[in-house]
Structure 1
Amino acid sequence: MEKNKLNGKKIPWWKKTTIYQIYPRSFKDSTGNGIGDLKGIISKLDYIQDLGVETIWFSPFYSSPQGDFGYDISDYLNIAPEYGTMNDFDDLVKNIHNRKMKIVMDLVLNHTSAQHKWFIESKKSRDNPKRNWYVWKDGKKPFGKAPPNNWKSYVTGSGWHYDSHTDQWYWASFLPFQPDLNYRNPDVKENMMEMIRFWLRKGVDGFRLDILGAVYEDPKFRDNPLSWKLIPSDESMDMLFRSSKYTTNYPDNYEFAKDLREVIDEFTDPPRFLLGEVSGSREELRNFCGKDSPDGLNLVFLFESMGAQLTAKNFRKLIKDFEKYFPDPYIPTWVFSNHDIIRRISRFKEQGAIEKAKINTAFQLTVRGVPTIYYGEEIAMRQNFLPLEKSLDAVSFKFKKFPRIIRNLLLKITNYAIHRDGCRTPMQWNRTETAGFSPSRTDTWLPVHPNYKLVNVENSIEDKDSLFYCYQRFLKLRQKTPALNSGNITLLDAKKIPKNILGYTRSAIFNGNEQTVHVYLNFGNKLVSFQIPEPNFHLIISTSISSQPLNGQNITLQPFEGIILGD
């Protein structure tokens, strides 16, 4: 049988991969200006490879005025000078591919920067050739000085912005300086598709697609109806008692996902993939991948996991739900931190946080799906709760006027920080000044977390039972074990194992040979002993290097310990 075949079918690489997200501004500064850059990243590729991940996703480093730190693009075909040059990018691709790894770029299709040459032209006059490249609309009477309708932006407040020069309003789903492109104009769509091909020709292996559900809005510009939701969630962008029916996940977006898939499928050696940042019900998320067959996005983020409480019951339910809506040949994703939300470990109490992070890691890297790890998660980097008053994040500007009691309430009821600086602070490499992030200065673009002398890569590598090595052990095992990186999943009967234990098997027929592994995760804070059905299981891996959990058919798991057994 042909190599690399699972259950008789060849599995595309992106279904088996593990993804590591880098926020380029914060990973490694090679120049001493306090800002991370491409050469700095290249210098640390051996570290990432040694960790055991296979694909690197980069937040944007295109040309940008940096109003939203790269998510406001002024030129899609060039590199922002603070990050490097196109030659540096080519070196990055070459160095990643030389290590048998893949590169994924962040792509913001919904909007550009207001400083993009297209929008500068678009604002000049109503009859400018680029006018219809963006979403412009007359205001309501009297005198057109009220917004065209009641649509809200993702960051609260009207998404319509008045331009006195042309006496019309432009639509921006996110921040005011990020005007939405008009994809109902075929010239816009053609230009953006060709831009995608440009990067694919340069060797990019895939794209993470920013707020894809906002690309198309209702062409009739109808008011969004009433909603009873106050705060947005992973399932809905409704907020402040206003629905997002006509501005998020409008049906044309699902067809657009298929159009994007057709473009990337033009490139087959190797195959490329698309990972969408979308929010909505599970049915809506599935629609982005293809309602009846997987002919849309290859993957979508399933953000429910981010806020999931660390219990066997919660994770069991998530597995069931994700498997229901994303069964093979679809595949779920598992993500717990990113550049927009509070770091996962900071949601755990300090005492026992490392053990909880280890069990979270064991789950993420053994369940069926594609895991995404945010830079620094592997060394237990925590959220740096910086003062809102000094925030650089443009999203935070709306919240600075809120009373502190309201800010604290928002932090408690949502995963999203009221400013995002705290999860974007510089990577902590060692115990030296600036945590080894910058070679020559202390004035880094964001302050390094004060705990950097304790929490850093250097210390993690010196401690053989650190979170870093837990990640590394599970990642390397996942790389070489088809049952883990590609196999089916079967949940064990919850009634036959202790309450705080989550158990499942992963199995596959690989190259004609059957392979099964058994996963047991203790989500409780107490030691648990129980029996397993087979006396001949052997221990493959544990979250703890000192544990001896197996004695015949008896398993004894320490608090927050996870293990994998083999037949």
Structure 2
Amino acid sequence: MTTTPWWRGAVVYQVYPRSLMDANNDGIGDIPGIISKLDYIASLGVDAIWVSPFFKSPMKDFGYDISDYRDIDPIFGTLADFDELIAKAHARGIKIIIDQVLSHTSDQHAWFAESRESRDNPKADWYVWADPKPDGTPPNNWLAIFGGSAWEWEPRRCQYYLHNFLKSQPDLNYHCDAVRAQILEEVEFWLKRGVDGLRLDAIIFCYHDKLLRDNPAKPIEERRGRGFREDNPYAFQRHVFDCDRPENLQFLESLRTLMDRYPGTVTLGEIASEDSLKTMAEYTAGNSRLHMAYSFELLVDQLSGSYIRETVETLEKNLLEGWPCWSIGNHDVVRVMSRWGGKKQSPQLAKTLNAMLLSLRGSVCAYQGEELGLTEAEIQQHELQDPYGITFWPRFKGRDGCRTPMPWDHTHERAGFSQTNTWLPVSADHKSKAVSLQEDDSASILNAYRTFMHWRKQQPALRLGDIEFVADAQDYLVFIRRHGNDALLCAFSFSDVEQVVSLGTNYQLDEITGHGFGSVTGNLGTISVPAYGTVIARVM
């Protein structure tokens, strides 16, 4: 008998360390702050914590620009603090997954400082360098996600270097054998320290087309999606030569070989390609690449039961060997209650969205604050920190609104996050959803989350079962999860009015009570789902 890996059906709680808890009162969250909140995180019933980057960095992109892969930035603490985090999380039965940003470094990394000096130094080929065209312009038409050309001129080499993100984030050259070998050593440093997994940021960007061919133009009607905006020129191209190259799969197989030497560890890849669902299937195929992958497919602006069904069914059709991981929010997108909640932003809808996410087939990444129903914080222009928002203001306000400090205590000026001015302002609206208020309210979003999570742990059908969709529309979604002889019918309403749903056939349903969601019983072909409600029943 084989043992099911811990990460299958797991719920991973994403911590944005700058904003979870400030332990030393400098206005920025830190690793000791995470340690101080481990009991709270454990009370949610999650299986693992994904910690966004805490490595040494100039913080031009808030840690996703690493200047030393093996050290902790002083604003977050020390290696000793991190070792304590692992030990204390493990003592509570919680795994630790860390972000690994492998496609690029900071321009302040020692590797880049050496590489940019000349064309013949030992690290000359560690980054992507290219000669200009005869007229001095960049070698091709590739664009950076944060705006403008993906090429930056370096006078010391009289060449351009590639940066798919900020110009301070030069891309490593994975066509160089020494780079690939070194990156695997950087990863193993953390595996030796006891981390349980890696969340792989921008993993499709490791390789570029050696011939530096121009990307083709994208038709106007296809320029939305993948998390990119139509007012960003990046959306004007099909990104077929600057990322998601076939060689990526070979590197992932090398990475998997390394991971297999550390039993129980897991890789979770972030996928945002031209066809993310297809790429997820490729990147998790054969039990020799990524363990799991997630995409931006459910991070869209509009909520639709039909869209969720289409997305999940498409992935299920293609993902023959891999394992999906779903999320409806993270540190890069507007908070889900503002995207999907409309102006009313009902607490009941927050409960239903969490229950829906936690009921899909696969594992789950839940972003800090979703268990409280937090909305997007309003950030003024002079308060902006995110370079993405600074560039595209006012049409796009950046990602700061989903990154503000967690509200712990409604009675404190800064919601119990810090005793000094915070790196981003504490949202006044968030104080009304603070943990201190929700802890003692049996009907709160937080306690509904805890109740559902602890019940979910006892339901193999929800953690590991197959999924079969029964009904869908703009305003509702119904599916059945099956595992062995156990089956659960799960229905979710995204509307402010009751939904009467035809199931297409009669099901013998047995009610499940005491877990905060509606129940039905009997031989039924139609069920009623309350406004913004969840109904779960056992299929007999």
TM-score > 0.5 by shorter chain: yes
Equivalent pair of 2:478/2:491 in contact (CA under 8 Å): yes
2:510 alignment partner, one of 529, 537, 543: 537
Equivalent pair of 1:355/1:560 in contact (CA under 8 Å): yes
Whether 1:276 aligns to 2:251 is no
Equivalent pair of 2:225/2:300 in contact (CA under 8 Å): no
Equivalent pair of 1:483/1:517 in contact (CA under 8 Å): yes
- Please report how far the alpha carbon of residue 352 of structure 1 lies from its aligned counterpart in structure 2 after TM superposition: 4.6
- Please report how far the alpha carbon of residue 543 of structure 1 lies from its aligned counterpart in structure 2 after TM superposition: 4.5
Alignment partners' CA distance in 2, 1:384 and 1:236:
21
Match of 1:261 in 2: 256
Equivalent pair of 1:302/1:332 in contact (CA under 8 Å): no
Alignment partners' CA distance in 2, 1:451 and 1:379:
12
Alpha-carbon distance change, 530 to 542 in structure 1, aligned in 2, over 3 angstroms: farther
Provide the TM-score with structure 2 as the length reference: 0.92
- Please report how far the alpha carbon of residue 80 of structure 1 lies from its aligned counterpart in structure 2 after TM superposition: 0.5
Equivalent pair of 2:407/2:434 in contact (CA under 8 Å): yes
Instruction: State the one-letter code of the partner of 2:529.
Output: L
The alignment partner of 2:23 has SS state of: coil
Trace 1:233-382 onto structure 2 (pairs within 5 A): 233-234=225-226, 239-268=234-263, 270-281=264-275, 282-290=277-285, 293-307=286-300, 309-327=302-320, 329-347=321-339, 348-382=341-375
Equivalent pair of 1:276/1:297 in contact (CA under 8 Å): no
Between stretches 277-286 and 334-343, larger displacement belongs to 277-286
Equivalent pair of 1:542/1:561 in contact (CA under 8 Å): no
Alpha-carbon distance change, 115 to 467 in structure 1, aligned in 2, over 3 angstroms: same
Instruction: State the one-letter code of the partner of 1:155.
Output: F
Alignment partners' CA distance in 2, 1:481 and 1:379:
23
Alignment partners' CA distance in 1, 2:512 and 2:381:
48
Alignment partners' CA distance in 2, 1:460 and 1:188:
49
- Please report how far the alpha carbon of residue 557 of structure 1 lies from its aligned counterpart in structure 2 after TM superposition: 2.8
Whether 1:519 aligns to 2:490 is yes
The alignment partner of 1:306 has SS state of: coil
- Please report how far the alpha carbon of residue 531 of structure 1 lies from its aligned counterpart in structure 2 after TM superposition: 8.4
- Please report how far the alpha carbon of residue 536 of structure 1 lies from its aligned counterpart in structure 2 after TM superposition: 5.8
Match of 1:560 in 2: 532
Whether 1:22 aligns to 2:2 is no
- Please report how far the alpha carbon of residue 141 of structure 1 lies from its aligned counterpart in structure 2 after TM superposition: 1.3
Match of 1:452 in 2: 430
Trace 1:200-211 onto structure 2 (pairs within 5 A): 200-211=191-202
- Please report how far the alpha carbon of residue 326 of structure 1 lies from its aligned counterpart in structure 2 after TM superposition: 2.1
Equivalent pair of 2:278/2:315 in contact (CA under 8 Å): no
Equivalent pair of 1:543/1:563 in contact (CA under 8 Å): no
The alignment partner of 1:491 has SS state of: strand
Alpha-carbon distance change, 337 to 541 in structure 1, aligned in 2, over 3 angstroms: farther
1:425 alignment partner, one of 397, 404, 414: 404
Match of 1:468 in 2: 446
Alignment partners' CA distance in 2, 1:351 and 1:242:
37
Deviations 1:158-186 (Å, cap 9, x if unpaired)?
A: 11101112211111111000111111111
Alignment partners' CA distance in 1, 2:11 and 2:427:
27
Alignment partners' CA distance in 1, 2:163 and 2:5:
37
Match of 1:411 in 2: none
Deviations 1:332-367 (Å, cap 9, x if unpaired)?
A: 221111111100001222325322222211111111
Unaligned stretches of 5+ residues in structure 2: none
Alignment partners' CA distance in 2, 1:200 and 1:21:
19
Alignment partners' CA distance in 2, 1:561 and 1:133:
54
Alignment partners' CA distance in 2, 1:445 and 1:499:
39
- Please report how far the alpha carbon of residue 418 of structure 1 lies from its aligned counterpart in structure 2 after TM superposition: 4.0
Equivalent pair of 2:520/2:535 in contact (CA under 8 Å): no
Match of 1:414 in 2: none
Whether 1:393 aligns to 2:386 is yes
Equivalent pair of 2:154/2:161 in contact (CA under 8 Å): yes
2:3 alignment partner, one of 4, 10, 13: 10
Alignment partners' CA distance in 2, 1:236 and 1:385:
21
Alignment partners' CA distance in 1, 2:388 and 2:495:
37
Alpha-carbon distance change, 221 to 200 in structure 1, aligned in 2, over 3 angstroms: same
Alignment partners' CA distance in 2, 1:336 and 1:111:
26
Instruction: State the one-letter code of the partner of 1:517.
Output: L
2:56 alignment partner, one of 57, 60, 63: 63
Alignment partners' CA distance in 2, 1:253 and 1:541:
48
Whether 1:550 aligns to 2:520 is yes
Unaligned stretches of 5+ residues in structure 1: 3-8, 408-416
Aligned pair count reads: 528
Deviations 1:409-444 (Å, cap 9, x if unpaired)?
A: xxxxxxxx5411111000111111111001x22x10
Across the aligned residues of Structure 1 and Structure 2, the Cα RMSD in angstroms comes to: 2.2
Equivalent pair of 2:333/2:402 in contact (CA under 8 Å): yes
- Please report how far the alpha carbon of residue 314 of structure 1 lies from its aligned counterpart in structure 2 after TM superposition: 2.5
Equivalent pair of 2:53/2:99 in contact (CA under 8 Å): yes
Between stretches 207-216 and 251-260, larger displacement belongs to 251-260
Whether 1:482 aligns to 2:460 is yes
Alpha-carbon distance change, 119 to 41 in structure 1, aligned in 2, over 3 angstroms: same
- Please report how far the alpha carbon of residue 93 of structure 1 lies from its aligned counterpart in structure 2 after TM superposition: 0.4
Alignment partners' CA distance in 2, 1:339 and 1:383:
11
Alignment partners' CA distance in 2, 1:463 and 1:210:
37
Equivalent pair of 2:253/2:289 in contact (CA under 8 Å): yes
Match of 2:478 in 1: 503
Provide the TM-score with structure 1 as the length reference: 0.88
Alpha-carbon distance change, 528 to 152 in structure 1, aligned in 2, over 3 angstroms: closer
The alignment partner of 1:15 has SS state of: coil
Equivalent pair of 2:338/2:345 in contact (CA under 8 Å): no
Q: Percent identity?
A: 36
Deviations 1:227-258 (Å, cap 9, x if unpaired)?
A: 22474522999845333221021111122222
Match of 2:89 in 1: 96
Equivalent pair of 1:523/1:560 in contact (CA under 8 Å): yes
- Please report how far the alpha carbon of residue 552 of structure 1 lies from its aligned counterpart in structure 2 after TM superposition: 4.4
Alpha-carbon distance change, 148 to 319 in structure 1, aligned in 2, over 3 angstroms: closer
Alignment partners' CA distance in 1, 2:200 and 2:241:
20
- Please report how far the alpha carbon of residue 542 of structure 1 lies from its aligned counterpart in structure 2 after TM superposition: 5.2
Alpha-carbon distance change, 522 to 398 in structure 1, aligned in 2, over 3 angstroms: closer
The alignment partner of 1:213 has SS state of: helix
The alignment partner of 2:323 has SS state of: coil
Instruction: State the one-letter code of the partner of 1:333.
Output: C
2:414 alignment partner, one of 420, 434, 456: 434
Alignment partners' CA distance in 2, 1:493 and 1:385:
37
